[in-house]
Amino acid sequence: MAKAETIVIEEMKRGRIKPWIIGESPLILHAMSQKTKMSLLIPSGRKTAAEKAQSLKHDPLEEYRGSAIVAMSNKNPTRLLFPATAFKSAICNAALEVPGAKKSQIGRLTWVNGDTVNL
């Protein structure tokens, strides 16, 4: 005769928080620029040594300006946006410092609304 096992399912407590984030280091934005996106979609082809020498590999000012995610509508209170997934990643990484918590488990149990957050 098989022994019956008892399965206990704990009720999950759900909540919502609206945090204020204060940085301790400079904010570095590094979104993929339009030029980089296009070069991934449509490769430029092989260049000769002379063509490589004549063309700039990077345009720092253009890359800096293209690194931010910018709001295209006036509905946002700020013009700069930040990926919401970065906050979820930070929460998951913080779980590594909490005894008994697992990064993957915290990742499955947390949710950040929206695609971007206003800065």
Residue 28 included in any domain: no
Residue 37 included in any domain: no
Range of the domain at 82: 73-119
Cα 52 versus chain centre, distance = 33
Residue 7 included in any domain: no
Question: Residue 35 in contact with residue 67, Cβ under 8 Å?
Answer: no
The yes-or-no verdict on residue 1 having pLDDT over 70 is no
Residue 112 included in any domain: yes
Question: Residue 25 in contact with residue 60, Cβ under 8 Å?
Answer: no
pTM assigned to the model:
0.58
Residue 65 included in any domain: no
- Domain total for the chain? 1
What whole-number percentage of the chain has pLDDT above 70? 94
Beta strands in 8-54 (DSSP E): none
Residue 51 included in any domain: no
Residue 2 included in any domain: no
